[in-house]
Amino acid sequence: MALHLIERIAVDDDGDGDVVVCLHGLGGSSNTFTPLMPALARHRVLRIDLPGSGRSQHAEGALSIARFVDAVQSVCTRLGVARAHVVGHSLGTIVAQHLALAAPKLVRSLALFGPLIAPPDSARTAIRARAALARSGAAGMHEITAALLNASVSADTRQHQPVAVAFVRESLLRQDGEAYARSCEALADAQPAAVDRIACPVLLVTGDDDVVAPPQAVRAMAEKLHGARGVRVQVLPRCGHWTPVERADACQQALREFLAGQRN
């Protein structure tokens, strides 16, 4: 596996074959997709730490969906990638949708885990409050982490998968407070993409206990993707918002089957 640093953006580059670009969610990093790597064994996988997250925390200035999209396009250009499947989680699914519209020739398909078009207005207020708490320091990030573990991870996962819980906890606690706050603000300001114009095939995977991307909202999203060349929706039982971590085997299977159908 190679590590690239492109304009302060960290990118893990692993494997050979058709390219898959992975875009993590708020509080995540390239490691969010480590549980999915067995399903991508025959692909070249680029896992990007978006500006403000993971090893790319030191990005300066305001963050936004547009900036994330530009960062992904810059990475692909620098690494000679002209066409790729795009896999996203949470915030990364919003970035992926905007990328598919900004660069339709680049995006071969979308596989979106915990997908949402944009946060509802009530959530935007809460996300901005979370940004203010993150700026209060380590205690603020600890409070945020405790709250998100209860809200975004399913009760079944908390009871039966301590390693998954530890993964989510560590991912959140390792975020820099100021950078995480700016990522929160980018999410709070996110505007819906014109998803009816997305033409590539789309996979939508969520958990039945996902409060960020509840099944009814994901099914409504699927109905709006009427321009796509096929839309598949899968709801995972006893699963919260961290789908790739909470139900790695099921997510691997869904992704493997979806990508197998895109080989023509």
pLDDT score, position 59: 78
- pLDDT of 61 above 90: no
7 has a pLDDT exceeding 90 = no
Domains of the chain (ranges; CATH) run: 2-118+191-260 (3.40.50.1820)
What predicted TM-score, i.e. pTM, was given to this entire model? 0.96
**Tell me: the pLDDT tens digits for 217-240?**
999 999 999 999 999 999 999 999
What phi, psi does 5 have (nearest 5°)?
Answer: -120, 105
Per-residue pLDDT reduced to its tens digit, 126-168:
999 999 999 998 999 999 999 999 999 999 999 999 999 999 9
Residue 264 pLDDT > 80, yes or no?
no
Question: Burial of 130 by CB count in 10 Å (0-12 exposed, 13-18 middle, 19+ buried)?
Answer: buried
Q: Give the span between the Cα atoms of 195 and 253, in whole angstroms.
A: 25
Nearest CA to 242 among 190, 166, 187?
166
Kindly report, residue by residue over 10-52, the tens digit of the pLDDT. 999 999 999 999 999 999 999 999 999 999 999 999 999 999 9
**Please, is 178 exposed, middle or buried when counting C-beta atoms within 10 Å of its C-beta (0-12, 13-18, 19+)?**
middle
- Burial (CB < 10 A; 0-12, 13-18, 19+), residue 1, is exposed
Render pLDDT for 108-131 as a digit per residue (tens, 0 to 9). Answer: 999 999 999 999 998 999 999 999
Give the whole-angstrom CA distance, residue 153 versus residue 85.
27
Per-residue pLDDT for 262 more than 90? no
pLDDT at 235: 98
Q: Residue 58 contacts by C-beta under 8 Å, 6 or more apart in sequence?
A: 8, 179
What confidence tens digit (pLDDT) does each residue in 185-212 have? 999 999 999 999 999 999 999 999 999 9
